[in-house]
Amino acid sequence: MLDIRDHESVTLFYMGRSPLGFLLYPVYAFLVGDTLIDTGTNRAGKEFLSALTGRKITKIVNTHHHEDHIGNNGDIQELFKIPIYAHSSALPYLENPRLNDLRFYQRVVWDWPKKSKGTAIASGIDAGSHHFEVINSPGHTDDHICLYEPDKKWLFTGDLFCGTTFIYLRKDENYSQILDTLKKLSQFEIETVFCNLKGAVKNGKEALLKKISKMEQLRDDVLKLRDKGLSPKRVRQEILGSEDSWNLITGGHYSKQNTIDSILSGKRPDRIT
Cβ atoms within 10 A of the Cβ of 102, count? Answer: 17
CB of 93 vs Zn ion, minimal distance in Å:
11
CB of 108 vs Zn ion, minimal distance in Å:
17
Using CB under 5 A, which of 66, 87, 114, 253 touches Zn ion?
Answer: 66
What is the SS3 assignment for 46? helix
Instruction: Count each helix (H run) and each strand (E run) in the chain, helices first.
Output: 9, 15
Closest to Zn ion by CB, 107 vs 224, is: 107
- Which range in 52-60, 152-160, 199-207, 220-228 contacts Zn ion by CB under 5 A? 152-160
Using CB under 5 A, which of 38, 67, 75, 159 touches Zn ion?
Answer: 159
Closest to Zn ion by CB, 150 vs 246, is: 246
Identify the helix (H) or strand (E) that includes residue 249.
Answer: helix 245-249
Residue 6, CB half-sphere, CA atoms under 13 Å: how many? 4
Of residues 235-254, those binding Zn ion (CB under 5 A): none
**124 close to 85: Cβ distance less than 8 angstroms:** no
CB of 27 vs Zn ion, minimal distance in Å:
9
- Which range in 101-109, 151-159, 186-194, 236-244 contacts Zn ion by CB under 5 A? 151-159
Q: What is the DSSP letter of 138?
A: -
Say if strands 35-37 and 10-17 run parallel, antiparallel, or are unpaired: unpaired
- Which range in 50-58, 119-127, 155-163, 198-206 contacts Zn ion by CB under 5 A? 155-163
Say if strands 118-120 and 84-86 run parallel, antiparallel, or are unpaired: parallel
Closest to Zn ion by CB, 160 vs 225, is: 160
Closest to Zn ion by CB, 75 vs 159, is: 159
CB of 157 vs Zn ion, minimal distance in Å:
11
Distance CA 216, CA 245 (A): 25
Distance CA 48, CA 68 (A): 13
CB of 227 vs Zn ion, minimal distance in Å:
33
Alpha helices in 110-231 (DSSP H): 175-185, 204-227
Give 34's contacts (C-beta < 8 A, 6+ positions apart).
Answer: 56, 57, 58, 59, 127, 128
> How long is the chain?
273
Print the binding letters for residues 23-52 with Zn ion: x by CB under 5 A, - otherwise.
------------------------------
- Residue 142 as a binder of Zn ion (CB under 5 A): the answer is no
Closest to Zn ion by CB, 66 vs 256, is: 66
CB of 140 vs Zn ion, minimal distance in Å:
5
Encoded amino acid at 244, one letter:
D
Closest to Zn ion by CB, 17 vs 66, is: 66
- Which range in 10-18, 64-72, 73-81, 208-216 contacts Zn ion by CB under 5 A? 64-72
The site for Zn ion (CB under 5 A) is made up of 66, 159
